[in-house]
Structure 1
Amino acid sequence: MQTLVCQSFPAWDTPYVKSTVEILKRVSKTKRVIFLDYPYTLKDLWSHPNVPKKAIWSRKPRLIQTGFGEIEVYNFLPVLPVNWVNSPILFRFLMWINGIIQGWTIRRIRKQLDPKETQVINAFNPVNGHFTKTFWKGFKQNYYAYDQLEATAWAGKWGKHFEPEFIRSVDQIIVSSSGLRRKFEKLHPNVKCVKNGVSLEHFQHPTMEKPQTKKMGYLGAFDDRVDLELIKQVAEAYPDYLMEILGPVKISSESFPENVFFLGTKDPSELNTTVQDWCLCLIPFVKNEFTQAIYPLKINEYLAAGKPVVSTNFADLSDFEGMVRVVESHADFIKGIKKEIRYNNRLKISKRISFAKQNSWESRAEEFLLALAS
């Protein structure tokens, strides 16, 4: 059986949907999957709420039964925190040490593997990839990119310097959007695109009737991608509607109208209960360097729930033409909400659900395997 080893930036234990994990779960049905978890730091041991402390000190993997197949999750020993560093020389020295720490685990795993039957996937962690790549010499190495790394507040500081270095050493790049494909095709000869999907099981049994409640909502992280002024304008334009924000809040949530409610984070299996109450779903993103490369997870989740969607024109959303109302201005966004609510019907709900089924994570996992095989 072929083995896939994923050296991941997304942590296994964090409670939100991650494309890396969703694809690997489905792949585990037919492949052996080894997941090298996010390299937690010594600081994380004290401050990160999701650190699997027992697993970090264990030499054995956690065997996770996913419902599709088994995934072997390994944790590195704690590494040194480095994000505070501003000196390139000091950063490289500390990351060299971190690479050695991670190498202890990688060497142990390598002993189990046949390089001819194994592929390594670095999931959006080019800094660690760069400092551990020598441990994977002889294995086919792939880079999986799903965001504009240099524009992210949480990984861009050093990632933007090491991503170009790291990708020169990989055999292939797999991206999640057309915007990222255009970026990497200028830098690497072998780039494939596998877009994000939807966990249909989390949005099953959508109602075919229009909700009677006056609620609209946004699903996902409330962060610097969100156009805060647009949120305020929508809330003020529809004072008799509640606007619910379902997801982690990563920026200030103060100074919003009283009809904006922050529900916090819920388990993925609980999302549909809330979304079904909404008469309309929103994607109020700003248009900038970061968002233009996004293929939003939430768009297929909205459609799988049968909901009308209004979005800003922040990225290439041509895949959703006829399914999602994409607008250029704040005024058109506000007008579009009224039209989508008024003209929603059972036929449109059914079409959205059927469309989303074509974009399931099962389908994306098959595309991902084909990309690896080519």
Structure 2
Amino acid sequence: MKLVSNNDAQLFMNANPELDILCLSHLRWNFVYQRPQHLLSRAATRQRVFFFEEPVHHDGEAFLEMRNEKPNLVVAVPHLPHGLSEAQQIEMQEMLLDELISTFRIKNYLAWYYTPMALKFTKRLDPDLVVYDCMDQLSHFKFASPELPRLEQALFSKADLVFTGGYSLYEAKRDMHPNVYAFPSSVDVAHFAKARNDSQVPNDMKNIKGPKIGYMGVIDERIDLELIEGIARMRPEWNIIMLGPIVKIDPASLPQLPNIHYLGGKGYDELPHYLATWDIGMLPFARNDATRYISPTKTPEYLAAGLQVISTSIRDVCKPYGEMKLAAIADAVETFVFHAQRMLEDGPTVEWQAKVEAFLAKVSWDKTFDAMHELIALEDSKNKEEELNDTSPAAISFSKDLRMSPKVNVNNGVAAMPS
């Protein structure tokens, strides 16, 4: 990673015929490595990607931090002075976004939204295509802006394509736009499979003895803290490992017991080392509005690491993982302990391992992005055809053919075609 200068920007120019991607994100690139990073890192092997984050507030003047995270991928972070009104913040973000576009001479591009809130400062954009990758029901999250539902409706009106982060989210959104496609969470199998033969024990795991049941991910309002405490109290000889940053909740509200270990956030490259020391991977999500539509990426990641999995009854985990017997489902402490005890005693069965391998052979972030890229290319071609022919019979025929085209197989399922 390095900061980008104007000279660097010129070196960053290329003659790639692919559309540039201008991503508007509510998530920070260097926070938790998840869906946006997986997809856009793959996009950067084909085209230029610009990842525009939410602003950082400080005591100085407004400026745009631009850093080259990897070849063909620039992260841009607006720095705004404290004390600005909302209108002033929007105006400055518009100005800094213009600076990014001017610096890198971004002309033909795809606007890729992760948050509808970005519409407030992107009204002047004129992209060739608009994609809304709806990875969560953001309006249900803690501290969500009351404007989100209205802005999401506006984004649906603006978007050419809508992707959803899971099947339950697809079902909630499919009637809101003619081109909605389901792309559930996937996995980099090779990365997490390193845990199966990893002997490198992280320093903060070396003194934790006995069975280990771990969770990796953000620790926030979506976590069932009562479940975690109940398991820890019922089985004091088991260790509960909580790996991830604590956000939006008071750390003092977390259960504090000798066998619950909060190890903080870790880098993506470190995760296999931790998973290699665990016996079971868990998804201890509460059942509330914030978790109603989630499709946890960590489910296939645990499986790729060779871990048996126990999850609460999150819909996109129950189907397909629960139905395929790849993961056990438990909402109550007693049920969780029952499944964990059995897993610890029996270990992974040959039959379960065969099912896991068969499932993982069909999923990958590479396949997910390839399917997305195909849909984007089709939509771009359709738009260009319509521009050439206006409402000619050829344009109408092309549009009809697109909607009748075969479904795109992806991630052990189907990228949902327009209803």
Tell me the TM-score normalised to structure 2 length. Answer: 0.74
- Asked if 1:73 corresponds to 2:88, the answer is no
- Asked if 1:333 corresponds to 2:318, the answer is no
Question: Which segment drifts farther, 263-272 or 339-348?
Answer: 339-348
1:260-299 alignment runs, 5 A limit: 260-299=260-299
User: In structure 1, the residue corresponding to 2:347 is in which secondary structure?
Assistant: coil
- Asked if 1:233 corresponds to 2:230, the answer is yes
Task: Could you tell me which runs of 5 or more consecutive residues in structure 1 were left unpaired when the two chains were aligned.
Answer: 47-52
1:1-374 alignment runs, 5 A limit: 1-11=17-27, 13-29=29-45, 31-43=46-58, 57=64, 62-65=67-70, 70-75=71-76, 77-79=78-80, 91=86, 93-94=87-88, 96-105=90-99, 107-108=101-102, 111-114=105-108, 118-122=109-113, 124-136=114-126, 139-207=128-196, 213-250=210-247, 251=249, 252=251, 254-317=254-317, 318-320=319-321, 321-345=324-348, 347=350, 348-349=352-353, 351-374=355-378
Cα distance change on mapping 1:180 and 1:156 into 2, 3 Å = farther
| C-alpha deviation, 1:101, in angstroms | 2.0
Question: Which segment drifts farther, 7-16 or 226-235?
Answer: 7-16
| C-alpha deviation, 1:100, in angstroms | 2.8
Task: Could you tell me which runs of 5 or more consecutive residues in structure 2 were left unpaired when the two chains were aligned.
Answer: 1-16, 199-208, 379-419
C-alpha RMSD over aligned residues? 3.0
On the 8 A contact 1:176/1:196 being kept in 2, the answer is yes
User: In structure 1, the residue corresponding to 2:262 is in which secondary structure?
Assistant: strand
On the 8 A contact 2:210/2:239 being kept in 1, the answer is no
C-alpha separation in 2, matches of 1:195 and 1:313: 17
Q: Deviations over 1:119-152 (max 9, x none)?
A: 2211x2211134313322x521111111111012
User: In structure 2, the residue corresponding to 1:39 is in which secondary structure?
Assistant: coil
On the 8 A contact 2:222/2:285 being kept in 1, the answer is yes
Give the percent of matched residue pairs that are identical in Structure 1 and Structure 2. 21
| C-alpha deviation, 1:296, in angstroms | 0.2
| C-alpha deviation, 1:295, in angstroms | 0.6
| C-alpha deviation, 1:107, in angstroms | 4.5
Amino acid across the alignment from 1:311: S
C-alpha separation in 2, matches of 1:15 and 1:78: 17
Counting matched residue pairs gives 346
Cα distance change on mapping 1:39 and 1:342 into 2, 3 Å = same
| C-alpha deviation, 1:15, in angstroms | 4.0
User: In structure 2, the residue corresponding to 1:135 is in which secondary structure?
Assistant: coil
Q: Deviations over 1:83-122 (max 9, x none)?
A: xx9xxxx74x3454245324423541684433xxx32211
On the 8 A contact 1:216/1:242 being kept in 2, the answer is yes
Structure with higher Rg: it is: 2
Q: Deviations over 1:205-250 (max 9, x none)?
A: 34389xx941111111111111111001111121111111111123
